[in-house]
Amino acid sequence: MIGYLLRRLLAMAVTLLVICALTFAIFYLLPSDPAAQFCGKDCSAERIELVRQQLGLNDPLVVQFGRYVVGIFAGQTLGSGPYAVRCDFPCFGYSFQSAQPVWDLMMDRLPTSASLAVGAAVLWLLLGVSAGVLAALRRGTWVDRTVMVTTIGLSALPVYFIAMILLYLVVTVTGLLPYPRYIAFGEDPGGWLANLIMPWTTLAVMYAALYARMTRNSVIETLAEPYVRTARAKGLPERRVVGKHGLRPALTPVATMLGMDLGGLLAGALITESLFSLPGVGKLFADSLNKADQPVIMGITLLASFFIVSSNLVVDLVYAWIDPRARLA
Amino acid sequence: MTAPLATAPAGGAGAADPATDSAAPASPWALALSRLRRQKAAMTGLAIIVFFVLAALLAPVLTAISGKGPDDLDKKAVNTYLGGLPRGSLGGISPQHWLGVEPLLGRDIFARLLYGAQISLLVAFSSALLITLIGTLLGVTAGYFGGRTDAVISRFMDVMMSFPSLIFMIALLSVARDVNRLLLLIGVLSLFGWPYIARVIRGQTLSLRHREYVEAARACGTSSGRILLTEILPNLTGTIIVYVTLAIPGLIGAEAALTYLGVGIRPPTPSWGQMIADSVLYYKVDPMFFVLPSACLFLVVLAFTLLGDALRDALDPKGSRT
């Protein structure tokens, strides 16, 4: 197990390094000059050249990349003289546009994205898994058909539509809730909840549909296993057959999917956050895109990769822990 | 799905099953087609797809009939005193503007939806084609040759799939500012789309390569290339069709999302994602503006999902067993 873990951690580090290198290459090979951006609109060619030198942009790509990677762990000082800025561990670059290290910018926004992702996940698990189990147990009946038709319809709904129809109906027409703005949980739990209900619902509708379909398939498949037949033949009550022998193994794929989806969402639900103007990592990303603030775009790309790669690892480990059959992967 | 699955025969991947219930011999394709025809959901999906493809192809004709092009401004249709809101109810639906107008500029929504369908479908179909080509090529190579080739390709697929693809696509699109957006979009979508189909194809090829008829062909001294083309590939066609159909809704959604975020198709080229992005500002006062492009997106995505699910039931009985 320890050997497996070490191997996986090494593979994860390599994957992240590859992603880091690719991201770096894309940003620094393509025609857009960070020095010109740092310098501003009307900047003389000489001045840009000076900035280039100070930022070390004239060094070979490999040197710059090495400096970036080392900087992540050791921190680095960007520029020199009066313009120098210090960026401490973990240094994912420095946003000259907002005069802040990228890491601080991202960490400011992370609680919002985490609130959004976790709350939505609770909601979609409740809705999706129960609908899926229900459909599987009532397979072929009108319950099953209703669940299936609804989930197909919901999963095809564009997220913009869900968000805007919610805003239109709840905020504009009925006025049940105010237009959402993020309130930290510690500040006002009630306000936190009221303001996140709509974003949660938006995400949850989309994911619940997928989870319901997957849960249904998984439960149907598990209930067809020989050991379930054995359990029934032993004369166990149906409730126990389903609860004990059916659901537990059937829900492991759901746990896998949950891990991956949460990993993806932690780094920001781009569109949902933009639509509800929630100041999460996704919104930061979208805003940085509009401002062409490249250090931030790059930092978030890496953060997102980190979440996805590590959630893959966590999922595999949890899986091996739940299901002994998967331990020798 | 709602389809009656019990009728699916075993070993459908190309093994020429004679029809079990009818006397006339039928090819696997004919069987699959007849199974498909019986499914209402699949036929509905197909009808919607045909409708949108025709609408996109006939966009110039249809806009000539309606009399309004996608870029024609109509200041008379909007009320400049009310922040450029469309005059009339339901977003300005009128005999001149069949589906209303955009606020502010007064461009005709019907025309823009039609031309938007062109972009949406063009991007989705082209990237689906590229994904199929790359995915099949690499998947078959990995599965058939195995060993080190397989290890390298599989590892590559793993890395590609652990990318935060949406974020990475955006990063990629945002730095390349002055290239043909359409081509770049298709390229980027394909770049991150192929591993999913390649993985499935690889798995299928792995199981096919030890079948007796492949062994027989190899024993006869047939070259690898010929075996791949005549023995393996024809048996993968069903799987490929299914996965491409199921990939298209994802591609359409991704194109709209990227354009919505401002890194996809640039204005003034009309596209659905663009329209939705514009409509966000007006959701309170002009809900029709976001309802119409969203509805188009919904219908097309739904149609491909329905058709794809049904195709999977019909062509790939193993995949639909559950």
**Residue-wise pLDDT tens digits, B28-61:** 788 778 888 888 888 899 999 999 999 999 988 8
Q: Is residue B317 scored above 60 in pLDDT?
A: no
Q: A58 vs A30, A43, A138, A215, B92, CA distance in Å? A: 15, 18, 67, 54, 56
Q: Is residue A126 scored above 90 in pLDDT?
A: yes
DSSP for B253-316, written as a single string: HHHHHHHHTTSSSPTTS--HHHHHHHHGGGTTT-HHHHHHHHHHHHHHHHHHHHHHHHHHHHH-
Question: What is the token pair recorded at B60?
Answer: 């110039």
C-alpha B307/C-alpha B49 separation (Å) is 9
Distance from CA of B186 to the nearest CA of A (A): 18
The pLDDT > 70 percentage for chain B reads: 89
pTM of the model: 0.83
Instruction: Check B290 against A271: CB less than 8 A apart.
Output: no
Residue B57 is predicted with a pLDDT of: 92
Query: Are B201 and B139 a contacting pair, CB within 8 Å?
Result: yes
Query: Are B202 and B145 a contacting pair, CB within 8 Å?
Result: no
pLDDT bin (cut points 50, 70, 90) of residue B121 is: very high
Q: What does the mean pLDDT of chain A come to?
A: 83
C-alpha B20/C-alpha B259 separation (Å) is 49
Give Cα B276 to chain centroid, integer Å. Answer: 19
C-alpha A246/C-alpha A224 separation (Å) is 9
pLDDT bin (cut points 50, 70, 90) of residue A123 is: very high
Q: Is residue A87 scored above 80 in pLDDT?
A: no
Looking at chain B, the number of H-run helices and the number of E-run strands are 12, 2
Q: A309 vs A119, A260, A262, A302, B237, CA distance in Å? A: 22, 9, 12, 10, 33
C-alpha A304/C-alpha A268 separation (Å) is 8
Higher pLDDT pick, A97 / B237? B237
Residue B54 is predicted with a pLDDT of: 94
Instruction: Check B167 against A220: CB less than 8 A apart.
Output: no
Residue B52 is predicted with a pLDDT of: 94
The 10s digit of each residue's pLDDT in A238-268 is 888 888 888 888 888 888 888 888 888 887 7
Instruction: For residue B276, give every residue at least 6 positions away whose Cβ sits within 8 Å of its Cβ, in sequence order, or none.
Output: A158, A160, B256, B260, B290, B293, B294, B297
Q: Is residue B2 scored above 60 in pLDDT?
A: no
C-alpha A70/C-alpha A24 separation (Å) is 13
Query: Which of B164, B276, B295 comes nearest A308 by C-beta?
Result: B164
Residue of chain A whose Cα is closest to the Cα of B178: A31
Which chain A residues are closer than 8 Å to B249 by Cβ? 156
Q: B321, exposed or middle or buried, with CB in 10 Å at 0-12, 13-18, 19+? A: middle
Distance from CA of B86 to the nearest CA of A (A): 18
Question: What is the token pair recorded at B229?
Answer: 């083309």
pLDDT bin (cut points 50, 70, 90) of residue A70 is: confident
Q: What does the mean pLDDT of chain B come to?
A: 82
Mutate to test the interface with A, among B120, B162, B259, B261 (most CBs of A within 10 A): B162
C-alpha A270/C-alpha A281 separation (Å) is 8
B221-235 per-residue burial string, b: 16 or more CB within 10 A, e: under 16 = eeeeeebbeebbbeb
Query: Which of A152, A290, A304 comes nearest B167 by C-beta?
Result: A304
Which chain B residues are closer than 8 Å to A292 by Cβ? 174
Distance from CA of B45 to the nearest CA of A (A): 12
The pLDDT > 70 percentage for chain A reads: 90
Number of A/B CB contacts below 8 angstroms equals 121
Higher pLDDT pick, A328 / B322? A328
Query: Which of A27, A145, A153 comes nearest B2 by C-beta?
Result: A145
Query: Which of B171, B175, B305 comes nearest A152 by C-beta?
Result: B305
- Choose among A85, A23, A18: nearest CA to A299: A23
Residue B287 is predicted with a pLDDT of: 86
Instruction: Check A289 against B159: CB less than 8 A apart.
Output: no
Distance from CA of B247 to the nearest CA of A (A): 13
Which chain B residues are closer than 8 Å to A32 by Cβ? 175, 177
Q: Is residue A125 scored above 70 in pLDDT?
A: yes
Which chain B residues are closer than 8 Å to A152 by Cβ? 302, 305-306, 309
C-alpha A232/C-alpha B186 separation (Å) is 53
Considering only CB atoms, which residues of chain B are within 8 Å of chain A? Answer: 1-2, 158-159, 162-164, 166-168, 170-172, 174-178, 249, 253, 256-257, 260-263, 276, 279-280, 283-284, 287, 290-291, 294-295, 297-298, 301-302, 305-306, 309, 321-322
Average pLDDT of the residues in B80-86: 77
Residue of chain A whose Cα is closest to the Cα of B170: A289
Query: Which of A15, A148, A300 comes nearest B167 by C-beta?
Result: A300
Query: Are A113 and A282 a contacting pair, CB within 8 Å?
Result: yes
Higher pLDDT pick, B82 / B207? B207
The 10s digit of each residue's pLDDT in A153-200 is 898 888 888 998 999 998 888 888 888 888 877 788 888 888 889 999
Instruction: Check A161 against B298: CB less than 8 A apart.
Output: yes
Residue B194 is predicted with a pLDDT of: 92
Domain extent listing, chain A: 2-102, 107-292
C-alpha A112/C-alpha A267 separation (Å) is 10
Domain A107-292 homologous superfamily, CATH: MetI-like (1.10.3720.10)
C-alpha B258/C-alpha B176 separation (Å) is 14
Q: Is residue B188 scored above 60 in pLDDT?
A: yes
Instruction: Check B175 against A294: CB less than 8 A apart.
Output: yes
Out of A25-29, A272-276, A319-323, give the one with best mean pLDDT: A272-276
Which chain A residues are closer than 8 Å to B253 by Cβ? 158
Which chain B residues are closer than 8 Å to A149 by Cβ? 2
Lowest mean per-residue pLDDT among B87-91, B104-108, B155-159: B87-91
Distance from CA of B119 to the nearest CA of A (A): 17
Residue of chain B whose Cα is closest to the Cα of A153: B302
Which chain B residues are closer than 8 Å to A168 by Cβ? 283-284, 287
